[in-house]
Structure formats: C-alpha cells, structure tokens
C-alpha cells in the first residue's frame, strides 16, 4: 500500500485551486477518452429503449400480400363503372375471405367475394366496395358505387418495402419500432451493452440513503439521484458506500473497481475538493492519470476527471446541487457515450422569457435554477450548493456562458426542464 501522498493540483496554502479549466475543455477531455461500450445480442421483446449497435434493414415486405382495407366485397373494378344508387351493378357472391383464411379460387367477371378488413384479396379482384354501398339479397350483391382499381386495398409492401433501411445504428428503440421488428419476424437484435457505473459515496458524516440521520450525521441524498440519472442515460448504477474518509479504504475500493471487467466507469461522490480529507484526486493521480481537477463552473467547481486502468473516473462534489450540476455537465456525457446515446441533455428544451435579471461573473459557466411564473421564468432566490430542495422547487435551469455577465429581464432564454415527459 502506498503512503498517503500530497494532494494533487491543490493549493498548499489552502486557498483552493491554482487554476480551473473551462467546461468545454472538460467535456472535450471526456469525448477524447471515453468510447462506446461493446455490443450484445438480446431478444427483441426486451429491447425497448435500448440502443442499436448495427443498422437494421427490412428482410421482407409488410404486408406480404394484398389485403382489404375495408369490410365489403372484392370484385373487378371496371365492372362497377357507372354504378350508383339508381343503377346498381349486380354480382354473384361465390365465397368469403377472412383474416388468416383467404378465399381459394379466382374471381371471374360478374363474381364477388365477401371480405373483412385485413383479409387477403382474392385472385382476380382489384378493388373493394365497402359494405355500406351494397345491398345483399341472398348470394346476389347489388353494388351502388363505382370504384377504381386498387380502391380500399392495402398493397404488398405498403407499410415496409423489402431491403429498406429502417433504423440506423445508435437509434434508441421506441415502442413502434418494436412493432415493426415484430412484423418482420426479427426476434433478436444487436444492441449496445448497458455500461455499469460504480458510484462511490464517501464521507464520515454520511449514513446510507433513506436512513434517518441523527446527531451530526447526514443522510446520503446523492446516490438515489445519481443512480436515477445513470439509469435515465442508459447505464446500470452500482452504489458503493458510504465509505469513511480513509485514504487506504478509498484507494483499495477504487482499484478493485477499476480492475473489475464488469465496471465501465467510476463516479466518486465527495472528497473531490482541496480539503484535508479530500483524497480522491490524489488517489487518481497516484494510481492512474488525473486529467483535470477544478472547472470554471458554478456550483460544481471541484469536479475532476481521471483514468485508472483505462476507465474514466469522475470526481463529483459532495454538495447535492453541485453533484447534480456536475452530473448534468459531465456525468451524463460519460454515461451516454458509453451507452451509445447522443450526448445531448435528456431534459426537454423550451424557449421562455426572463422575468427578472440574472447576474453572473465573467470567466465561469453558471447553472441557474429557475421556476415558471405566468408564462415566464425567474431565477430561484434560494442559492447554495447544499440546498437540494431548491432544485425540487425549480422547474428547470438555464446556463449562463462564461463570456456573459448575465441576462436582463425580458431576454428569451433556452430553459432545460427538469420534468421529463
């Protein structure tokens, strides 16, 4: 076991970070070092919301036969020309065609076949007359409407043509996609394997999530939030801890996870800043590469990024709002790249007018929680990186770029909404 090292990239005078990289630089580091996870073959019935690893082309037409689009009578269209209520055409009904049980034989001039929606069109017929435009007298059918060839018939391949490019790789499968795949008889598909993300919770003061804290302890509020976000972005969360602020315990845990082939990334929540018990940056630097520590972002400036055994290690601040902010800007990017998903935020985006001004500082990105009020947005007056309830009362957030000092009231801004349909 290595002896405890000096903190990495921390100011030894106790005044925080010597420098901070930009949000864009941090995100670029993620894009340069994180790659999509491997694929696996699964049953198509289990593939909803999974990401296609390879494109899919249709292997057959849908439908594979001409079928009736209406209940009525199948016949030869040109024999109905001139038919109307006063001068109907007369046909002899020679049978029926029902879904799954078509008519055997071929329609000749003057003949018709009763047919139900979805049933195969009999040989010789090229149109369907809806039943409401007919009069049935035993096996004599009087047709009171003229129809054209192809009328009320669903053609072969009308829904899906054979050898059609259906879905590209990277597509997140929707319920209707599974319907098409079922229609094509594709019962197994290749999808991106869901990455398992280890989430280490640290802090002597932290008790497990949903346990009642007493004395000077606090409940773990971050792991339920992080686990839900990882699942939303296509990952499988594995919660570790809470662990005490012990260098050796944390180092052993991180190395064990980094060398576990079932783990694709490690998120360490807490111990990421510059305090005397913030060991995570030093451990990453000692046992791997510390690529970044400190980012020009409020309220998540102590965020860090490293690699151990080739796996991304994200250092996430312990304060709950900082934790959410760090995940939104960086954690979601790691998970979504691994999971083969677009790196764009999963939050719905709206354009809304600002009711009250937002003030920011040049040189940093601000993550500003907002709420809706009479069709406008206003910044939340509750601040502080530890006030998670501010995000539960917020309807969303806006991002103030580093080159802005804020926005005056009346400005129309992009709003990322916490509520996901």
Q: Which domains does the chain have, with CATH numbers?
A: 23-37+194-338 (3.40.980.10), 39-62+158-192 (3.90.105.10), 67-154 (2.170.190.11), 349-417 (2.40.340.10)
Average pLDDT over residues 59-69: 94
Based on DSSP, count helices (H) and strands (E) in the chain, helices before strands: 8, 28
Task: Report the C-alpha gap between 125 and 102 in whole angstroms.
Answer: 13
> Looking at 100-114, 211-225, 285-299, which range is the least confident one?
211-225
- pLDDT tens readout for residues 205-246: 888 888 888 888 888 989 999 999 999 999 999 999 899 989
Task: Report the C-alpha gap between 286 and 291 in whole angstroms.
Answer: 12
Nearest CA-CA partner of 289 in 270, 315, 317, 264: 315
CB atoms near residue 86 (< 10 Å): 6
Does the pLDDT at position 386 exceed 70?
no
pLDDT at 1: 37
Q: What is the pTM of this model?
A: 0.84
- pLDDT tens readout for residues 124-163: 999 999 999 999 999 999 999 999 999 999 999 999 999 9
pLDDT at 387: 62
Does the pLDDT at position 67 exceed 80?
yes
Do the Cβ atoms of 406 and 360 come closer than 8 Å?
yes
């Amino acid at each position: 076991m290595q002896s405890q090292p000096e903190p990495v990239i921390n100011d030894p005078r106790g005044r925080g970070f010597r420098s901070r990289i930009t949000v864009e630089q941090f995100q670029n580091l993620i894009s340069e070092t994180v790659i999509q996870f491997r694929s696996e073959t699964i049953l198509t019935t289990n593939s909803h919301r999974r990401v296609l690893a390879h494109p899919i082309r249709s292997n057959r037409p849908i439908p594979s036969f001409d079928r009736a689009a209406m209940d009525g009578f199948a016949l030869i269209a040109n024999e109905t020309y001139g038919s109307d209520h006063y001068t109907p055409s007369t046909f002899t009904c020679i049978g029926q065609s029902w879904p799954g049980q078509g008519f055997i034989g071929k329609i000749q001039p003057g003949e018709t076949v009763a047919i139900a929606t979805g049933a195969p069109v009999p040989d010789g017929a090229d149109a369907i007359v809806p039943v409401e435009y007919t009069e049935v007298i035993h096996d004599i059918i009087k047709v009171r409407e003229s129809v054209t060839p192809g009328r009320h018939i669903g053609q072969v391949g009308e829904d899906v043509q054979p050898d059609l490019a259906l879905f590209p790789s990277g597509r997140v499968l929707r319920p209707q996609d599974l319907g098409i795949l079922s229609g094509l008889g594709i019962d197994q598909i290749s999808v991106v394997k869901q990455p398992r993300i280890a989430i280490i919770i640290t802090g002597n003061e932290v008790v497990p999530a949903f346990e009642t804290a007493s004395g000077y302890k606090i409940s773990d509020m971050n792991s339920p939030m992080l686990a839900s976000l990882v699942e939303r972005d296509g990952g499988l969360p594995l919660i570790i801890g809470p662990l005490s602020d012990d260098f050796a315990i944390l180092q052993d845990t991180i190395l064990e996870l980094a060398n576990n082939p079932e783990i694709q990334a490690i998120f360490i929540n807490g111990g990421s800043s510059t305090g005397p018990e913030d060991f995570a940056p030093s451990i990453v630097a000692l046992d791997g590469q510390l690529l970044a520590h400190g980012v020009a972002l409020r309220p998540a400036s102590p965020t860090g990024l490293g690699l151990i055994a080739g796996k991304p290690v994200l250092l996430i601040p312990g304060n709950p709002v900082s934790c959410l902010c760090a995940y939104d800007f960086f954690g979601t990017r790691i998970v979504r790249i691994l999971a083969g998903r677009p790196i764009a935020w999963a939050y719905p985006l709206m354009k809304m007018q600002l009711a009250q001004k937002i003030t920011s500082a040049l040189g940093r990105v601000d993550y500003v929680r907002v709420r809706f009020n009479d069709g406008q947005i206003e910044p939340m007056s509750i601040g502080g990186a530890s006030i998670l309830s501010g995000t539960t009362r917020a309807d969303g957030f806006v991002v103030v770029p580093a080159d802005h000092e804020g926005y005056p009231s009346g400005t129309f801004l992009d709003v990322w909404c916490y509520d996901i349909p």
